[in-house]
Amino acid sequence: MIALGGWFFGLLLCERFSQDILSNFQIGIVEQTKAYTQGWSDLEEAALITAIEKSNNNDQHIELITGDGTRFLYRHPKRSSTTLSPVDSLEGVSESLRSGIGYSNFTVQGAKSSHPSVTLAFESKNGTNYLLRLERDPRIIISQINAIFDSVIMLGLISALLAMVMGHLLYRRINRQFHVLTQVAVAYSEGNFSARAPKGMDSESILLGEALNKLADEIQDQISEIHLEHNRMRVILGGMRDGLIAIDELGKIVLINSVMSRILGFEIREARGRHLSEVIQDPEIIELLLNTLRVQRPLEAEFDLNLEPSKKSFKAYTSPLTDYEQDVSGALIVVHDLTQTRQLESMRRDFVANVSHELKTPITAIRGIAETLYDDEGMKPEIRQRFLGKITDQSHRLSTLVSDLLALARLDEKDSTTTEPIDLREIILERINSLSKVSSPDSQASLHYHGPEHPVFVLGDDEELRQAIGNLIDNGLKYTQLDGNINTHLSVEDGTATVLVKDDGVGIPEEFLGRIFERFFRVDKARSREIGGTGLGLAIVKHICLKHMGSIEVESQEGKGTTFRVKLPIFNGKFSSESHTE
């Protein structure tokens, strides 16, 4: 296009140059004709013809014509008579007769085909009028014009060729860069946002490449942001202790966490994208979510689900989900498991009822006896004595009960326990000795210690560990016949101290073994009361063991005896200040 345009422009210029050359050529002849006529106006006819002959040369054809334009006075000698035209047929003669000057063949085409001429009328000194006709050979200007045309054509060809070569090179370069950029764009479309447009391209390609690179940077940033968000959400959902489901406006599950999938008993991947009713059997949850979509406001409800092997209680909170235009686009449900709370509430109720009952029994007994004593002033001293003894027993029972309740309350509330190295051996021996001292060998079962002669240290609270070991040995004595034995074994293995309190007493029926650590549980209530039991001793022991990172187990055979096994981590001597508080 550039070459063609240039060429066309060149041709126009040529045309213009040709006109200029022709016009200069015309002016040249006119000037010369005028110069001749002025120079020769003084001459007589004969001298005039001589002057004309002198000035003549091969290229110039001069004709002198009479003033009326009827005949030649002089003609170019070299012109053959056959090519001579009669005066009246010469172009420009009649025009010069009319206006003083006449022209012929002054066009480009004319100049190419025939000789242009100027005919000028002039008057000589003696008053005679003549016409001087000057004709020029146009070959010189024709060759000039042709040379210009040839140059323009050549230039056109060369520039067309150059334009084609440069155009081709430019095309190849742009095409190559475009190809590279296309590959980068294809990589993006395939999800590879690490691809980048190379540097060092042409300005337009650089702009496009930079735009692509910027786009990829932004997309990569957004992808990492989404990944981060996704991970955060995964961690939050995974760490949630409540179940969660989100649905879209059509009721299809878009999000579900593992707790919810566990509660409802299906896999997360099975549920995603499916309608609520396809995966969830429980009408409460479906209805609550669909109602939330319908009423477009948060709802809450409590319901029970029959989950094998037991029934569980839940509280659900729902909330509508809105999109960026604040239109409701789905709903969310969070399901909180209330089962444990309900169990705790029930245990607390039972505990309060048990405590009231346990307190009421001795108080009622004391009150009854006191009233009898008050009413019966003449009571025999020995009966009065027996009644007072009963009041003392019941007061002891009350006191023990209150002490155990206080111990439990302390254990429940204490969030910091003093930890110091405690010698288990010493605790066991002290308890055995103190119990052996207060009673004669015939009034209770025998107490024995089996274990190392050196101290066995654990980290813990002295008072609490004494109470735990003491309760177990006391129980051994309480539930073993007078001729029985209570053997306490202490051993250390793999960093764990084990205390076995083994008796050959009444034993515990197998069906109650799982319940003896419950508060106020007693196998035989009457017997336990009779021997001063509160039903809280083992609950306290278990609490203390767990608090000291240990454990307690029981083995028993009814009528043969019971063994309690307490395990506690031993203290290895490296006592750091951090372990002073739990």
Question: Reduced to 3 states, what is the DSSP secondary structure of residue 333?
Answer: strand
When binding is defined by CB under 6 A, the residue of 37, 394, 467, 534 that contacts ligand ADP is 534
Written as six digits, the tokens of 527 are 């017997």
Indicate the length of the chain as a whole number: 582
Task: Find the part of the chain contacting ligand ADP (CB under 6 A) among 19-27, 338-346, 371-379, 526-534.
Answer: 526-534
Residue 116 phi/psi, 5-degree rounding, is -75, 150
Binding mask 539-558 for ligand ADP (x = CB under 6 A): x-------------------
Residue 459 vs 536, nearer CB to ligand ADP: 536
Identify residue 12 by its one-letter amino acid code. L
Determine how β-strand 101-104 pairs with β-strand 485-493. unpaired
Written as six digits, the tokens of 289 are 């979510």
Q: Express the helix, strand and coil content of the chain in percent, nearest 5 each.
A: 55, 20, 25
Task: Find the part of the chain contacting ligand ADP (CB under 6 A) among 25-33, 37-45, 471-479, 574-582.
Answer: 471-479
Closest contact distance (angstroms) between CB of 545 and ligand ADP is 13
Strand order in the sheet with 117-123: 72-74, 60-66, 129-136, 117-123, 101-104
Residues 534 and 357: their CA atoms lie apart, in Å, by 12
Rule CB under 6 A: say whether 476 interacts with ligand ADP.
yes
Determine how β-strand 60-66 pairs with β-strand 72-74. antiparallel
Closest contact distance (angstroms) between CB of 307 and ligand ADP is 32
Closest contact distance (angstroms) between CB of 556 and ligand ADP is 7
Rule CB under 6 A: say whether 467 interacts with ligand ADP.
no
Rule CB under 6 A: say whether 516 interacts with ligand ADP.
yes
Task: Find the part of the chain contacting ligand ADP (CB under 6 A) among 8-16, 121-129, 184-192, 473-481.
Answer: 473-481
Rule CB under 6 A: say whether 563 interacts with ligand ADP.
no
Closest contact distance (angstroms) between CB of 552 and ligand ADP is 12
Residue 196 vs 527, nearer CB to ligand ADP: 527
When binding is defined by CB under 6 A, the residue of 124, 205, 417, 528 that contacts ligand ADP is 528
Residue 63 vs 504, nearer CB to ligand ADP: 504
Residue 199 is given by DSSP the state S
Residue 205 vs 488, nearer CB to ligand ADP: 488
Rule CB under 6 A: say whether 431 interacts with ligand ADP.
no
Rule CB under 6 A: say whether 104 interacts with ligand ADP.
no
CA 155 to chain CA centroid, nearest Å: 63
Written as six digits, the tokens of 32 are 């010369």
Residue 262 vs 515, nearer CB to ligand ADP: 515
Rule CB under 6 A: say whether 533 interacts with ligand ADP.
yes
Residue 468 vs 508, nearer CB to ligand ADP: 508
Query: Binders of ligand ADP: how many residues, by CB under 6 A?
Result: 23
Closest contact distance (angstroms) between CB of 354 and ligand ADP is 12
Q: Taking CB under 6 A as the criterion, which residues in 111-170 touch ligand ADP?
A: none
Rule CB under 6 A: say whether 292 interacts with ligand ADP.
no
Rule CB under 6 A: say whether 522 interacts with ligand ADP.
yes
Mapped to the 3 state alphabet, what secondary structure does 281-308 carry?
A: CCHHHHHHHHHHHHHCCCEEEEEEEEEC
> Using CA of residue 363, residue 366, residue 369, residue 373, what is the dihedral sign?
negative
* C-beta contacts of 276-279 below 8 A and 24+ residues apart: 276/245, 276/247, 276/251, 276/252, 277/251, 279/253
Residue 62 vs 516, nearer CB to ligand ADP: 516
**Contact between 284 and 303 (Cβ < 8 Å):** yes
Task: Note if the bond before 362 is cis, omega within 30 degrees.
Answer: no
Compute the C-alpha angle 354/355/361, nearest 5°. Answer: 90
Rule CB under 6 A: say whether 562 interacts with ligand ADP.
yes
Closest contact distance (angstroms) between CB of 429 and ligand ADP is 20
Residue 233 vs 353, nearer CB to ligand ADP: 353
Q: Taking CB under 6 A as the criterion, which residues in 484-513 touch ligand ADP?
A: 503, 505-508
Distances (CA, A) of 319 to 244, 262, 405, 515: 11, 22, 44, 42
Which is nearest to 486 in space by CA: 465, 472, 497? 472
Residue 244 vs 408, nearer CB to ligand ADP: 408
Residue 429 is given by DSSP the state H
Written as six digits, the tokens of 450 are 């089996």
Residue 320 vs 507, nearer CB to ligand ADP: 507
Closest contact distance (angstroms) between CB of 564 and ligand ADP is 7
Rule CB under 6 A: say whether 538 interacts with ligand ADP.
yes
Rule CB under 6 A: say whether 93 interacts with ligand ADP.
no
Rule CB under 6 A: say whether 445 interacts with ligand ADP.
no
Neighbours of 247 (CB within 10 A): 24
Closest contact distance (angstroms) between CB of 531 and ligand ADP is 8
Residues 498 and 469: their CA atoms lie apart, in Å, by 12
Where does 56-126 have alpha helices with state H?
Answer: 93-99, 108-113
Determine how β-strand 328-337 pairs with β-strand 299-307. unpaired
Residue 134 vs 508, nearer CB to ligand ADP: 508
Rule CB under 6 A: say whether 523 interacts with ligand ADP.
yes
Determine how β-strand 485-493 pairs with β-strand 446-450. parallel
Closest contact distance (angstroms) between CB of 300 and ligand ADP is 41
The residue written with tokens 């009150």 in the block is 367
Residues 316 and 299: their CA atoms lie apart, in Å, by 8
Rule CB under 6 A: say whether 479 interacts with ligand ADP.
yes
List residues near ligand ADP by CB under 6 A.
475-476, 478-479, 503, 505-508, 516, 521-524, 528, 533-539, 562
